[in-house]
């Protein structure tokens, strides 16, 4: 039986974080919904994969483990995991443990009220637990993206998002696309909702992000997304019964 929900985790060198995170996911969801965890080990050179396998076995938690022998980046890791996911709905989390899996249930409840075929519920870390410098970088990057894209998302960098698998597979794939999921889904007349989420301090490992890959590397992609929005028409299609004509 296929699960309703796939929890997608892109991970690189997250030993020390991935085991506790899988445990938290299991504790938060196990008695509420059928789910699986799909983890892409994106070129880790630590024990991320082994820790994930051991934790899932201990909990009897369904785990699909994928591996990129060489790191391909977060967007590609997400893309690989979602293509192999079995769930109708996808929830993405950062593998560093800073997203709280307990927020997923409330996002699932919010999704029940969505009538649109395509949608994205985007997490909003309104009380961030990052250093002042990291918070400043993220604030600048979000301000720049919001100025150009106006997708209504105050925190595009939050890894916690919920959307249908079908919706994601219709999106154009490119490196860093994970930063623009709400804008890309809005482009196809999808509904975008915001959900305030908890944010925790990292307890192990180091962040993979700098001001370079938070803002400047994304500038080219940002203008690419703007071009896509202008060049795309997403028509409403009615199926006509010939007998009614």
pLDDT on residue 210: 53
Distance from CA of residue 161 to its chain's centroid? 5
Which pLDDT score is estimated for 16?
94
Instruction: State which residues form the domain around 93.
Output: 5-233
- The SS3 of residue 176 is coil
Q: Is residue 154 part of a domain?
A: yes
In a domain, 223, yes or no: yes
What is the pLDDT averaged over residues 42-68? 96
- Predicted pLDDT at 173: 87
pLDDT value for 143: 62
- Tell whether 213 is covered by a domain: yes
Q: Residue 114 falls within a domain, yes or no?
A: yes
In a domain, 238, yes or no: no
Q: What would the pLDDT profile of 204-236 be if each residue is shown by its tens digit?
A: 655 555 555 555 556 667 666 666 666 666 666
Say what the pTM is. Answer: 0.80
> Which long-range CB contacts under 8 A does 232-241 form with residues at least 24 apart?
232/187, 232/188, 234/187, 234/188, 234/189
Quick: pLDDT tens for 103-157. Answer: 999 999 999 999 999 999 999 987 665 566 566 666 666 666 666 666 767 777 7
> The domain spanning residue 97 has which CATH number?
3.90.550.10
* Segment 65-71 mean pLDDT: 95
Q: Residue 41: its pLDDT value, please?
A: 96
Q: Is residue 124 domain-resident?
A: yes
């Amino acid at each position: 039986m296929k699960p309703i929900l796939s929890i997608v985790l892109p991970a690189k060198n997250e030993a020390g974080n991935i085991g506790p995170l899988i445990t938290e996911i299991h504790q938060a969801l196990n008695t509420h919904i059928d789910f699986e965890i799909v983890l892409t080990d994106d070129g880790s050179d630590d024990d991320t994969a082994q820790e994930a396998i051991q934790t899932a076995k201990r909990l009897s938690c369904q785990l699909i483990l994928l591996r990129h022998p060489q790191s391909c980046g977060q967007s590609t890791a997400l893309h690989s995991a979602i293509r192999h996911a079995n769930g109708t709905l996808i929830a993405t989390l950062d593998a560093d443990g800073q997203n709280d899996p307990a927020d997923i249930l409330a996002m699932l409840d919010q999704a029940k009220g969505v009538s649109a075929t395509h949608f994205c519920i985007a997490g909003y870390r309104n009380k961030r637990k990052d250093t002042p410098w990291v918070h400043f970088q993220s604030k600048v990057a979000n301000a720049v993206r919001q100025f150009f894209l106006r997708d209504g998302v105050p925190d595009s960098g939050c890894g916690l998002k919920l959307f249908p698998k079908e919706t994601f597979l219709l999106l154009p794939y490119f490196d860093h696309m994970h930063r623009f999921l709400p804008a890309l889904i809005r482009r196809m007349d999808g509904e975008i909702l915001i959900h305030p989420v908890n944010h925790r301090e990292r307890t192990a490992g180091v962040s993979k992000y700098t001001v370079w890959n938070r803002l400047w590397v994304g500038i080219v992609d940002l203008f690419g997304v703007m071009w896509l929005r202008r060049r795309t028409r997403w028509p409403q299609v009615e199926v006509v019964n010939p007998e009614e004509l």
